[in-house]
Structure 1
Amino acid sequence: MRAVPLALAFLLALSAVAGGAPALSAADGAPAVDQSSTPRAQIASPTPEAGTATATASTGADFAGTAQLDDAEAEAAQRRVINVLGIPAASSARSTLETEYVELGSGLAFTSATTDARLETTTVLARIEAAETDATRQQYLLQEVSAVEQRVVSLRARQRQVVAAYSRGDLSPRRLLYELALIDAEARELEDRRARLQSFAREASGFTISASRFGNIELELNTLTGPVRGYAAAVLRGEAASSRFFVQSGDDSVVLGVIRDGTYVREAYRGPLRTGGSESFSLVEAVNATEQAYPTVAELRLRDDVLGNPDSDSTRVTIEHERGRLVTYVDSGSKRVFKEYQYRPLDQMTTRAPVSAEKDALNLTAHRTYPGGPVRLQLNSTTSGEPVDAQITVGPAGGRSSVVGRTGSDGSLWTMAPAGTYQVTAIDGSSVVLLSVEPTSTPFVYGAINDSGGSGTATPTPDASA
């Protein structure tokens, strides 16, 4: 086994719940990398830009556009770009910044559903263990493996349905996160069941089930989980604090993002890039497809790990690099990445084209990134130059804003960038400064104009964040 039509963007916050955010681990839906893998040559990563405020009016214009860079600067800027799998948005219909609260009823319903799934696993395994004959045990094993496979198909269909409902406006962003978190939780429980069924199959006398069959189930379940939806599940269970989530949808596609524990976490799924196929697909081909899609990650690679087999529809590639971790799923038919997870520590993020505004002795600067990416806000006094600790709100231009936090003693705050132009407001006593911000272009893996088959060739410009 080897190891759009219409894009809708939302930002939302779940209510404060006691508990810390889980660490980045295999539980996030991205397996730990085999540390015994041979490390590649290390290449020094670029130093993030300083947080110096730019004394410029809040026009939202790019100050580091391609036309303003010489060849050396453009090459250096391009090298900083870490591509992302995303939904090319020909148009944006809905965008909002909301503060949502998880009612006690929602949390209890989620806990009940996940508990039922665990009890089902216990019942299934107990039935197999209690079988009186080897033949009966083998029959039960085959039945349960087939049942897990059918559940995978059902979960995939359910994901398509809830994403489509959200895209039509029939589902709120909070409800979409709830449904995706529930799918994530059930997929994780089914993965535990699959692993235990495989263990039973290995121990069964005179009976085997193909390891590749179990491997295919594992890979399919992995594509139904993710670190962002997993974090949303932790919030619903009361195990993690509330956070603001970026949500974007398209044709059988969804992108989620969150900042937690000083790390920007992103997951994206593009159903149209899955075509399947009967041709054999090697591990090397999957790694090559990932390297081609993420050249900067390939250059900064430290170690990698691959999971898949010649008969599977997809292969998982995990790359630890100098600026974070990337996990991709490569389709055997299209030979393209159709799902990604990215973990980017904020101190390894670089931003481009800052915009600033000054008023009431305050200078507010936004170090910009693309929609759904992390943007760093810096607030300083124009008289002393010292950082200012103040409340920050973010919202659509001319619309309702929401409090996203305080800048703190260093005057700095990382938050999520909404889709489209947004307004940032800093309030320090009676002093108020407003800044209009336009996100940078998204460094799409397959270009900003790719169609449902991912055939576009447009490339990101150097002003995109890395």
Structure 2
Amino acid sequence: MKALPLVIAILLVASPALGAVGPDAVSDQQSVFDTASPAQAQAQQVPNETIRVLDIPESNLVQATVESQHVDLGPSLDLAALRAGGQIQTGTSIERIESASDDSIRQQLIIDELSRIEQRAIALQSTQRTVIERFNQDQITARELLVELARIDAEARSLNERRVELRTLASNTPDFSIDSGRLAGLERELDTFTGPVRKHAVAVMTGGAEPTRFSVRTSETGVVLSVVADGKYIREAYRSDLRDRDQSTVMYEEALGIVADNYPTVYSSRSAQNGTNVISAGNSHRVRINYNGGQLSAYVDAGSGEVFKESQARPLRTVTSGTPKTEVKDGLSLTAYQTYPGGPLRIQLNETETDDPVDANVTIGLEASQESTLLGHTGTDGTIWTVSPSGPFTITVIKGNSAVVLTSSPTPIPGLETNTTDQSNSTPDEQLTATPEGPPGV
């Protein structure tokens, strides 16, 4: 493991009565802050492929597709009902606890409600595994998988809100406390089921965001999702095969080093002030890094020492285009800047004589398929972004009487050093931090 320069370690120990409640609360977890040097803060932008990602090895890949998602009344109503039901249940639970005739009954009601959330978290784990299995067996479509993952995300967030309320009730109950590790560990477990791509899928389905394309890649028990939205490339990955719940040997001090080894480019370009923090809870450590090109959250399993979950958000303006491949015909120059499966794919259209950008509709389809999907139009700058398919693909542009077709392929996945081979280790928070909070799950 590489040495970590300029690390300022702060061990924060809060009262056991405090639970994990949110980014503005006092932490009951262990936190490490790491400050980058001015030289590191001024690191130059680097090619796309050097930003490593948690992904699924090709030997473990079961399904890989790109799914167009749009507003959908059915899932939208279901998600609204789920949200409303969660709020009602939380309100009912709080009212019952606050109406308890004495403190002993109040304490027992809090414990009982916390146990219900823990049991529901276990059920969500089973639900997520089943949904992935059904998708892998072609029992549900990629669209249906996204809908189910969005529902799981919404319920997990609702359960975490209830956990926060219980933490507050516990802290306001005389002579009573809930183990802070239990509350924080539950938060991290619920965090397993949430992510920025799932959250964006909810926004698309409910009409809060424009229709877009989602990359979906699965193994037997893992899932990787990515999307280009709101001027950003966003991805999330979860691999349960990299977890070892039977032991806990990796300390929070080591987690930063593990992430530094796996994401060297991100780590070396971290922000000069409060660029990194480590939050430990339950049997995992979350390492969040703000760097020149975006934000990374990597989750290190305390048993296996592996990064088992990841989320990244990178503004497109910071994404360095990959290797270009160009096709010229009928006065049009079409270029695809190749990237890895599910990575940020930039498509550029220009006039061949003047090099002026051209606004035209763009379609994309797998080379082996006869079907194509309309991406949209390139706009006044001649550029459109999307997520790359996992296999060879064809891009087609028609502008008036001119047409140009380009065939391209994704590049190799810049996988993590320790996640590039098959592994089978699995068994089946609050933070005081100066790091600015990103979108939930990022």
TM range (shorter): 0.7 to 0.9
RMSD: 2.4
- The answer to whether structure 1 residue 362 and structure 2 residue 332 are counterparts is yes
After TM superposition, give the deviation of residue 396 of structure 1 in Å.
0.8
Match of 2:347 among 352, 364, 377: 377
* 1:240 counterpart residue number: 209
The amino acid that maps onto 2:77 is L
Where do 1:322-401 residues align within 5 Å? 322-397=292-367, 398-401=369-372
Distance 1:150 1:388, change over 3 A: same
Match of 1:318 among 288, 293, 303: 288
TM-superposition CA deviations, 1:4-31 (whole Å, max 9, x none): xxxxxxxxxxxxxxxxxxxxxx99xxxx
- Secondary structure of the structure 1 residue equivalent to 2:125: helix
- The answer to whether structure 1 residue 84 and structure 2 residue 53 are counterparts is yes
- Secondary structure of the structure 1 residue equivalent to 2:340: coil
CA distance in 2, matches of 1:97, 1:338: 23
The amino acid that maps onto 1:352 is G
After TM superposition, give the deviation of residue 278 of structure 1 in Å.
3.5
TM-superposition CA deviations, 1:417-452 (whole Å, max 9, x none): 111000001111111100001111100113685113
After TM superposition, give the deviation of residue 110 of structure 1 in Å.
2.1
Distance 1:102 1:436, change over 3 A: same
- The answer to whether structure 1 residue 418 and structure 2 residue 389 are counterparts is yes
Contact 2:67/2:143 (8 A) holds in 1: no
After TM superposition, give the deviation of residue 277 of structure 1 in Å.
3.6
After TM superposition, give the deviation of residue 202 of structure 1 in Å.
1.1
CA distance in 2, matches of 1:38, 1:450: 30
- The answer to whether structure 1 residue 149 and structure 2 residue 149 are counterparts is no
The amino acid that maps onto 1:363 is S
- The answer to whether structure 1 residue 197 and structure 2 residue 166 are counterparts is yes
CA distance in 1, matches of 2:45, 2:71: 39
TM-superposition CA deviations, 1:34-91 (whole Å, max 9, x none): xx9563114334347xxxxxxxxxxxxxxxxxxxxxxxxxxxx69x701000001138
- The answer to whether structure 1 residue 292 and structure 2 residue 261 are counterparts is yes
The amino acid that maps onto 1:377 is I
CA distance in 1, matches of 2:62, 2:247: 38
Stretches (4+) displaced over 6 A: none
Q: TM-score scaled by structure 1? A: 0.80
CA distance in 2, matches of 1:279, 1:301: 28
- The answer to whether structure 1 residue 177 and structure 2 residue 146 are counterparts is yes
CA distance in 2, matches of 1:96, 1:38: 38
Contact 2:66/2:216 (8 A) holds in 1: no
Where do 1:214-253 residues align within 5 Å? 214-253=183-222
The amino acid that maps onto 2:409 is E
* Unaligned stretches of 5+ residues in structure 2: 1-10, 14-21, 24-31, 426-442
Identity of aligned residues (%): 39
Q: TM-score scaled by structure 2? A: 0.84
CA distance in 1, matches of 2:366, 2:185: 43
Moved more, 84-93 or 251-260: 84-93
Contact 2:68/2:212 (8 A) holds in 1: no
The amino acid that maps onto 2:141 is S
Contact 1:96/1:395 (8 A) holds in 2: no
Moved more, 329-338 or 199-208: 199-208
